[in-house]
Amino acid sequence: MEFMVMILAAAVRSGTPIIFATLGEILTEKGGILNLGLEGIMLVGALTGFAVSFYTGQPWLGIGAAFLAGMALVSLHAFVSITLRGNQVVSGLALTIFGTGVSAFLGQRFIGLTITGLGRVAVPGLSTIPVVGRIFFEHDLLVYVSYFLVAFLWWFLVSTRAGLHLRAVGDTPRVAEAMGIDVTRVRYLATLLGGGIVAVGGAYLSVVYTNIWTEGMSAGRGWIAVALVIFAIWHPGRAAFGAYLFGGVVAFQLRLQAAGTRVPIPLLMMLPYLLTIVVLVFITIRQGKGILFGSPASLGQPYFREEST
């Protein structure tokens, strides 16, 4: 029992950066823009968060700077995808390559350095609940922010007029335009805010999870987040479940390594990505049978305003 509680608590921390990345991508895709640059954005966010925290000694400043850096980086993708109506797949992949390269180049001076990140804060009352308290309420504040963000985005998409406008833009932008909604403005806002949230996921890795910067430290979590958006069917609640599932796999393989298991370490490190492939195959099969989906109808398609006249 004690081992399981430790694994589940570790799954929450390990899954938190994936939650941020997945929620950011859901927000972006709900507006009809496909962003495959999550890996690059997370790395830029991780480097920015670490660098600002290192020079200022303020982790929250680092996280805020990472958010702004993510918005700045994804603005390139927004300009290409929305204003120039370019290919969103190519633009997203270019963003990943650029973010990976620039973070590796600028981050060389920070390799081997450490910072003081966010400490753990037990939630009064809730942390004393047997089992559940230790799993969910004995973490750093950014984990609690992720809880709030899941609930807020869920409420925003389902229960607010702005959320309805966003979904209308992602499904039928021509109808949304006829309703008086500024499609370009909504898509820009969703893409920029989504990119900022993704970058916070990267900052969590360097500022909170490890307190160090290493090249390529996102280790494919951006791609996992892209797959999780489909796994979650663009739903924040299911995204959280999926992120903790992947986080649990990561935590489990780390515990097995620490316990000195005879299973080859490369095989253990494959587990999260093997699970990603299994999930994608499962979803693709269901999609082929017409069982799912709720994807935005205009996802990845540029909007030409003149076509509505």
Residue-level pLDDT at 103 = 95
Tokens 């620039």 sit at which residue? 102
Neighbours of 46 (CB within 10 A): 33
1 or 245, higher pLDDT: 245
Give the residue from 251, 236, 241 showing the smallest Cα distance to 279: 241
CA distance 200 to 193: 11
Q: Which residues pair with residue 300 across a beta bridge?
A: none
What would the pLDDT profile of 77-123 be if each residue is shown by its tens digit?
Answer: 999 999 999 999 999 999 999 999 999 999 999 999 999 888 889 99
Q: 148: left (phi > 0), else alpha (psi -120 to 50), else beta? A: alpha
Percent of the chain residues past pLDDT 70, beyond the cut: 92
Q: Which of 191, 183, 280, 272 is closest to 229 using CA atoms?
A: 280
Q: Please, what sign has the CA dihedral across residues 260, 264, 266, 270?
A: negative
Q: Which residue has the higher pLDDT, 190 or 304?
A: 190
Residue 138 phi, psi dihedral angles, 5° rounding: -130, 55
Bridge partners (DSSP) of residue 114 are 212
For range 183-204, the mean pLDDT: 96
Amino acid (one-letter) located at 107: G
Residue 63 vs residues 30, 36, 57, 184: alpha-carbon distances, Å: 25, 22, 12, 28
The pLDDT assigned to 256 comes to 73
CA 238 to chain centre: 13
pLDDT of residue 250: 77
pLDDT digits (tens, 9 = 90+) for 24-47: 999 999 999 999 999 999 999 999
Q: Which residue has the higher pLDDT, 7 or 264?
A: 7
Residue 289 is predicted with a pLDDT of 64
| Structure letter (DSSP) for residue 182 | -
Asked if the model's pLDDT at residue 233 lies above 90, the reply is no
> How many Cα neighbours within 13 Å face the side chain of 146?
30
DSSP summary character for residue 290: T
- pLDDT at residue 309, rounded to an integer: 44
Structural element, H or E, at residue 296:
none
The percentage of residues in the chain with a pLDDT greater than 90, rounded to a whole number, is 61
Q: Which residue has the higher pLDDT, 280 or 188?
A: 188
- Whether the predicted pLDDT of 294 surpasses 90: no
Determine the average pLDDT of the residues in 282-306.
73
Digit-coded pLDDT (tens) for 109-164 = 999 999 988 888 999 888 889 889 889 999 999 999 999 999 999 999 999 999 99
